Chain A
Amino acid sequence: MKPIQHTQPSPLVRTILLFLIFITLWIQPSSALDGQIQIHDPSTIALCDGKFYTYGTGGTTLVSDDGWTWSRGVTPPRRGMAPDIIHIGDRYYLYIAANIGAQPKAAINMISSKSLNPDSPDYKWEECGVVASSDGVEFCNAIDPGLFLDPTDGKLWMVYGSYFGYIRLVQLDPRTGKRIDPNDKPIDIAINCEASVMIYHDGWYYLLATHGSCCRGADSGYNIRVGRARKVTGPFLDHTGLDMLEGGGKLFVGSGGRVIGPGHFGLIDLGDGVQKFSCHYEADLDRGGASVIDIRPLLWKDGWPVAGDHFKEGTYQIESVRTGTTIELAVEGVPVGGRRVRGPRPAGPGGPGADGGGGGGIFAGQGGVIPSQDVAQVSTSWPAGNIDIRMSNYLCQAQQKWTITSVTNVGGYLGSPYFKITIAGTDRTLAVDEDGELVALPAFSGGPEQLWRLDQLTDGTWRIMPKFALAAKESLAISAIGNSFATIAKFDPTSAKQRWILKTP
C-alpha cells in the first residue's frame, strides 16, 4: 500500500480552504432563533407580562422578549424531565416528571404560580403534588406530560408516557390543575412513543407524539407523528387508519436540512389564522450538534397538520390571493425583451410568416433566449425619489421582483427576525408612508416603517405586517383593496385581501 504523504498545502489550496471555512461559518444556522437556545424537551411556550417562557429538562429555562432572541431564565424550584406548562385563569401550572426510583417508576408533579416573571411579586411557585405516576410494573412510564384544555367544553386533560408501554390520558380540574379523581383509571390512547400532546382543530382532536430515539445527537431518530380522533379519548388513527395504540402515526416533521431529530411539539396559537409550533432538535449541525429549540409555522392541509418551514430569503413575486395581481413599483414597465407591437396573426400552415409549427408573425418570437430583465438598465427611467406602489399582472419585469432579506439587530417576533423588502438588484425599499400607504423609498435606512413581519398562515399563504404598527399593537397588514392597489389595513383573517403568495420568479 502506498504510504500517505503528509505535505503542506499550497497557498492556493490554503486560500480555498480558508474560503470554505469562512463560507461554512457564514451560512445561516438552520434553526431560525437567535441567542441562547440550547434546551432539551422544551415545554409549550407560555406568555407572561409580554415575555415568552419555556422550560426544559434539568431546569433549563429560556426567556425571550420577542420570541426571536432568547436567553437563560430563572430555574423554577422544581426541576426534572420534560416539563409542560399551561395558563388557565390567573395561574400557570407547570408539570414536571421525576424519577422516583428508576424508570418506568416515575411521577409527574405539578407546581403553580401566578407569574412566570421572577421580578413580579406574583412569582411564587407552590407545590401541588403528584398528578400521575407509574409504579415500575404497569405498562406505562409516567413522564413527559402534555396539557390540553379542550376548547369545546373547557375540560382539562393531561397525556403522558414514554416508550415503555402506553401513552395515557387523565382528566384534570381546570380550577386547580390537579386530578379530578386520582382514582380514575387513565385511558390508554397510544403506545411506544413519548412527548405526546393534544390539540384541537376543526372538529378533530389531534394527538402529536414523538417517535424514534432521543439523546444520541446526530444519530437520534426522533420524529413527530400525529393521529386524530373525533373524541378526546380516541381512537387516534393516522392517515392510513392505523391506531396509535398499535404504533400508528402520520409523520408531522422529521429530520431535514441541517437539523436532526425534532421532538416535543408545542402549539403556539396566535389567533387570526396564525399558528406556530415549537420543538427541539436533537442536533443542530450548525450549532455543533447541540439540542436547540425552534419555532416554525404550523399549516393545515386536508385535515392534517403540516410543519411549515422558516421563510427562505430570496427574490419573490408577491401575489395577492384576492386579486391575482402582484405588488410592483408604479413605473412604466418595459416588456422583457423589448416592446413589440401587436402584429398580424399568421395566415396558417404554409402561409406568410408561418414557421412550420408555432405560427409566424408575433407568435414567432425573436429567436434565441431572451435574458431576464436587467434592473440596472430599466431602472434608469425610474424617479430618483419615492415611488408609489401599485399592483399589476405579473410580467416578469424588474419592478415586480422583490428581494426579501432578514435584518440583524432590530429584534424579531416568534420564530423569525424582521425583514426588509427591496426591488431585486436595487435599494428601493418597500415602506409605509406617513399617511399609512405603501411607498418605495430610494434606500433602506432601517426604520420600523421599512421592516416587515412575515407570518405564514395556516393555509400556507403569507401575512405581511409592518413593524411600526406591531409596536403600536395594531394588527395592520398589506391589503389588496383593489386589483391595482394595495395599502395597509387592519388584518381580517376571514378575508383574502391580506393573504399573499410568495412565488419564485
Chain B
Amino acid sequence: MITLRNIRMTAFVVLAGSMFLAMAVAFGNAARNPATSLTRPATAERSPDPRGFIQRWIILEPIPATGLTDSAVQAAVKKEYFPNQLTIIPHDGDKVTVGGTELAWHAVDTSDYNVNLYYFASGFGKPTSNVLFWAVTTINCPQEMPGVRLSIGSNAASVWWVNGKEVIGIYGDRQTVIDDGVSKRLTLKKGPNVIRCAVVNGGGATDFCARFLDGEDEPLTGFTVSVGAVKQP
C-alpha cells in the first residue's frame, strides 16, 4: 500500500544513497582506511546491533580543548561553546560558531561497535588532537525501561548525559574499552530519550562506543535509534 510514510521513506533512501559517494570521499578510501565504517544514515531509524551498541550519532566537528584530568575535562565540557549545548538536539548539516569558527553537525552510522572520531575529523580535514567532540543521538523506547545502565568506552576522556542528566565521567588518557564507564541505574522513558556525550582527545586515535545494559548486565536491544532527517551535502 502506498502511504505518505512509504513515499517519505523511499525518498529518504534515494536521497541517502545519492549522498553515499560524497560521504565516502569525506570519510576516506575504503581500501586504505577504516573510515568507511562511517556512512550517512540511510534509514529514518535503526536498531542497535545485536550486542546493543548504538551505531547512529550526530557529531559536531571538533572544538579545540586540552587537558584530560577530571577537573580539566569537567571544565572543558561545562564551558559554553554554543547556545544550549547541553540541551540542543542538532540536525544533520546544522552549524554552530565556536571561537569564530563555523562547525557543522554530521549524522553518521558506524558499521562497527564504535565510532571512529579520528577518521570522522580527518575526513573533514579537521584536527584530531587536543580536541573535544560533541555527539548526540536519540533512542526511542517502546515502553519505560527502569533499572538500566548506560555503558560506554572512549578514547580518551568523556562525559555523558541521558535526558539532560550527567551520568558518566571517565577521565585520563585512556583507550576505548567496552563497558568501561557504566552509569548508575537509570530509567529510560517511553518514547525518545536523548543521549549526549563529550569526548576529549589528547592525541592519536580517538573513538567511543555506547550501549545500554539491563538489570542482568545484558545488552539492551529493544529500542530504535534516530538522529532526524539527513540533509543533502
> Interface of A with B (CB < 8 Å)?
331-332, 392, 435-437, 481-485, 487, 489, 497
Contacts and interface: CB of A to CB of B under 8 A. Distances in A.
Contacts of A436: 185
Contacts of B180: 482-484
Interface string B173-188: 0000101111111000
B69 interface: yes
Contact of A485 (B69, B71, B171, B182): B182
A340 B149 CA distance: 35
Given A332-B69, A332-B71, A489-B217, A482 B182 contact: yes
Contacts, number: 39
A435 B153 CA distance: 24
B220 interface: no
A392 B230 CA distance: 39
B217 A481 contact: yes
A484 B184 contact: no
A483 B151 CA distance: 10
By Cβ-Cβ distance, the 9 closest A-B pairs, closest first, are A482-B182, A332-B70, A485-B182, A483-B180, A482-B179, A484-B181, A437-B184, A484-B180, A484-B170
A483 B184 contact: no
Q: Find the residue from A332, A482, A497 having the highest chain B CB count within 10 A.
A: A482
B190 to A, nearest CB: 21
A484 B71 contact: no
B213 interface: yes
Nearest to B179: A482
Interface in B139-166: 149, 151, 153
A489 B215 CA distance: 9
Given A483-B177, A484-B181, 15 more contacts: A392-B172, A436-B185, A481-B151, A481-B217, A482-B151, A482-B180, A483-B153, A483-B179, A483-B180, A484-B170, A484-B180, A484-B182, A485-B182, A485-B183, A487-B184
Chain B interface: which size bin? 10 to 19
Nearest to A395: B172
Nearest to A489: B217
Contacts of B170: 484
Contacts of A497: 217
Contacts of A437: 184-185
Contact of A482 (B69, B181, B185): B181
8 contacts: A332-B69, A332-B70, A392-B172, A436-B185, A481-B217, A482-B180, A483-B179, A483-B181
B53 to A, nearest CB: 15
A485 B181 contact: yes
Contacts of B70: 331-332
B179 to A, nearest CB: 5
Interface of B: 69-71, 149, 151, 153, 170-172, 177, 179-185, 213, 217
A483 B171 CA distance: 12
Contact of B185 (A332, A435, A483, A484): A435
Contacts of B213: 481
Contacts of A482: 151, 179-182
A482 B70 CA distance: 18
A332 B213 CA distance: 27
Given A482-B179, A483-B179, A484-B170, A435 B184 contact: yes
A344 to B, nearest CB: 15
Nearest to A497: B217
A370 to B, nearest CB: 20
A126 to B, nearest CB: 47
Contacts of A392: 172
Nearest to B185: A435
B138 to A, nearest CB: 23
Contacts of A332: 69-71, 171
A86 B182 CA distance: 46
Contacts of B172: 392
Contacts of B185: 435-437, 487
B37 to A, nearest CB: 23
Nearest to B183: A485
Contacts of B151: 481-482
Contacts of B153: 483
B214 to A, nearest CB: 11
Contacts of B179: 481-483
Contacts of B177: 483
B154 to A, nearest CB: 10
A487 B183 CA distance: 10
A33 to B, nearest CB: 37
A483 B153 CA distance: 9
A485 B180 CA distance: 7
Contacts of A481: 149, 151, 179, 182, 213, 217
Nearest to A490: B216
B184 to A, nearest CB: 5
A260 to B, nearest CB: 47
A436 B146 CA distance: 14
Nearest to B71: A332
A358 to B, nearest CB: 23
A327 B59 CA distance: 33
B84 to A, nearest CB: 27
A83 B138 CA distance: 68
A437 B149 CA distance: 12
Contacts of B149: 481
B122 to A, nearest CB: 23
A483 B154 CA distance: 12
A497 B216 CA distance: 12
